[in-house]
Structure 1
Amino acid sequence: MATRVELPAGQWAELYEPTQLPEGRRRRLKIAQMRMGSIPSFREAIRSGRFEDVAGIDAKAAIEFVDPADMEQVMSLSMEIEDTAILAYVRAWSAGPTVDAVTLLELPGEVYDALKDHVGALTKGGSAHELDTAPNPDPASPIEPSIV
């Protein structure tokens, strides 16, 4: 099931519900999130217990603990995660027949920002790059949590 959202300038998008997000899209988003762990000062903040994982950290939080030498990489990855989240959740849009990165980056800023906000509202914490990866508590779910 998809939810249609209205965007500025008369545009619209159909967004997947989090429970309906195809696995391939979900994995691309998780991979983008996990790349944050390759940044030394970011990784150190995770190890020190300041954060549980990289999925729930946004650029604003990163400023507080990331070494200034790592900031460019953190900001770049943050933007990549936002783009990946939008591309993961958008099923269709008025911007064209295909949902792709080239078209996404050609959107007017106000449309992009609104789309980022709508995607963020679908994910935990209200941020586009905070994907809820908790196991499904539904006992009828065919997928069980990993024991690894």
Structure 2
Amino acid sequence: MDIRQDDLSGEKVIALIAEHLYGMSLHSPPESIHALDLVGLKKTDITFWSGWEEDELLGIGALKELDGGHGEVKSMRTSSLHLRKGVARRMLQHIIDEAKRRGYGRISLETGSMEAFAPARRLYESFGFAYCGPFADYKEDPNSVFMTKEL
């Protein structure tokens, strides 16, 4: 998989972000959806990547800088055509490697607490993420789970 920094202008990337946001709306109430739209993903504190195999989009992921020592995993999504092929694992490793390269001491994330998000939680656990309380601007929410990893 070729992981590239992306400007979020491609048709396939835009469609996968729309699929991601739609998926979040199926499993989370609106006030508990923290996935970013195109405008949010284009902010200067976010780096966005897309993963490709030739011209086929496999998945996306982003890293938000919370401060000089802390990053947040954002918008991890695998194309529905490429589930269970290791796409998310490779994208997450790429994000972690970038966080280390930047000198972050910690990387955190928010995901859903519902059963639909169990595969994501297992992935993060397998990378050594531990459950924690809310961080940055997040608040306690029964629909959210917070995880962090010391780098």
TM-score by structure 1 length?
0.27
Rg (Cα) greater in structure: 1
Higher relative contact order (CA 8 A, sep 6+): 1
* Higher fraction of strand: 2
